[in-house]
Structure 1
Amino acid sequence: MKLLIGNRNYSTWSMRPWLVLRHFEIPFEDEVLQLSGEGWRETLAVRSPTGKVPVLVDGDLVIPETIAIIEYLADRFPEKPIWPAELRQRAEARAAGAEMHSAFQSLRSHAPMNLRASHPGKVNIDTVGKDLHRLETLLGGLLARSGGPFLFGAFTAADAMYAPVAARIRTYALPVSDVLNGYVEAIYSLPAFQDWLALALREPWVVDDDEIDVIQGRVKPGTLA
């Protein structure tokens, strides 16, 4: 089983199934496909049915799209508690994951994930305030009911879906409640996340489209080392 991923420092969608695979100790290999540089789009078009990452390859089966990959893993390894066991919690976890897939556009646009960076104060809170409020309501409510440290007590695919949000909160020092800050700490303490982070910090590549100083015009494209 192989997972095709993008640059670890930036690729939020790649991180999510990778965390599920690593945390639940499912044997796999990964391969990084660059998200910048000469010919990167053409390479992705050859390796991925959608021209995007991640892609899971299991024998002759090729599965694009993060949620589809996670659902396949849950079906393939039913003994692994990838989703909560209880019916209502499982429905809530899947709903939270689906919302992450379809919503929070302002947070994605104005605060791209950048694990190597520290950019406190560089995000205009007014542009992401609505998304932060929704995160407080959604994640705060789930954490209050579960008692933490993760959304449903133990780590599940729902937490994998929100792990990049935790990274954004830390990178940009976004103003969130103590409850959400505690959740950020729980994500960063997860061994699987630590493994991904360590690999991301070693990457030499820069993707200008995900660098806030380039996005906001402080630095010219192609000048970040």
Structure 2
Amino acid sequence: MKLLIGNRNYSTWSLRPWLVLRHFEIPFEDEVLQLSGPGWRDTLARRSPTGKVPVLLDGDLAVPETLAIIEYLADLFPDKAIWPKDIKDRARARAAASEMHAGFSSLRSHAPMNLRASHPGKVDLDAISRDLHRVETLWGELLVRSGGPYLFGHFTAADAMYAPLATRLRTYDLPVSDVAARYVEAIYALPAFQDWLNQALQEPWVVDDDEIDVIQGRVAPGTIA
């Protein structure tokens, strides 16, 4: 089994199924397909049915799209509790994951994931206030119900879906409650996340489209080392 991923520093959708595979100790290989540089779009078009990452390759099966990959893994390994075992909690987890998949567009666009960076004060809080309020409410309700440290007590696919959002809160030093801050700490403490983070910190590549200083016009494209 192989997972095709984008640059670890930036690729939120790649991080999510990778965490599921690594945390639940499912044997796999990964391969980075860069999201910048000469011919990168052509490379993705050749390797991915959608021209995007991630893609899970399992024999002759190619599964693109993060939630589809996670659902395939949950079906393939039902004993690993990738989703919560309780049917109502499983419904809550899938609803939360779907909301992350389809929502939080302001937070995602104004605060791109950048694991190597620290950019306090560079995000317009008015632009993301609604998304911040919603994630606080969602996390708070689930963490109170479960008792933490993860949304459903133990780490599940729902946490994998929200891990990139948690990194945004730290990278941009966004104002959050103590409950949300503890959840961010729990994500960072996860051994699988630490493994991804350590590899991301060693990457030499820069993707200008995901660098907030380029996005906001502080520096010219191609000038970030």
Find the aligned partners of 1:105 and 1:51 in 2 and give their Cα distance. Answer: 21
1:109 aligns with 2:115: no
Residue 128 (structure 2) aligns with = 128
Quote how far apart the aligned CAs of 1:223 are.
Answer: 0.4
Quote how far apart the aligned CAs of 1:216 are.
Answer: 0.3
Q: How many residues align?
A: 225
1:53 aligns with 2:53: yes
TM-score normalized by structure 1?
Answer: 1.00
Query: Unaligned 5+ residue runs, structure 2?
Result: none
* CA deviation map 1:147-199 (0-9, x unaligned): 10000000000000000011000000000100000000000000000000000
Find the aligned partners of 2:53 and 2:177 in 1 and give their Cα distance. Answer: 32
1:174 aligns with 2:191: no
Letter in 2 for 1:108: R
Quote how far apart the aligned CAs of 1:7 are.
Answer: 0.1
**1:1-225 to 2 correspondences below 5 Å:** 1-225=1-225
Find the aligned partners of 1:189 and 1:137 in 2 and give their Cα distance. Answer: 22
Letter in 2 for 1:50: T
Find the aligned partners of 1:102 and 1:4 in 2 and give their Cα distance. Answer: 22
Find the aligned partners of 1:94 and 1:144 in 2 and give their Cα distance. Answer: 18
Letter in 2 for 1:102: A
CA RMSD of superposed structures (Å): 0.3
Quote how far apart the aligned CAs of 1:49 are.
Answer: 0.4
Find the aligned partners of 1:6 and 1:128 in 2 and give their Cα distance. Answer: 25
Find the aligned partners of 2:128 and 2:210 in 1 and give their Cα distance. Answer: 16
Find the aligned partners of 2:119 and 2:20 in 1 and give their Cα distance. Answer: 28
Find the aligned partners of 2:191 and 2:71 in 1 and give their Cα distance. Answer: 22
Quote how far apart the aligned CAs of 1:68 are.
Answer: 0.1
Misfit runs of 4+, over 2 Å: none
TM-score normalized by structure 2?
Answer: 1.00
Name the SS for the 2:181 alignment partner.
Answer: helix
Find the aligned partners of 1:195 and 1:40 in 2 and give their Cα distance. Answer: 25
The alignment-based identity, stated in percent, is 79
Letter in 2 for 1:84: P
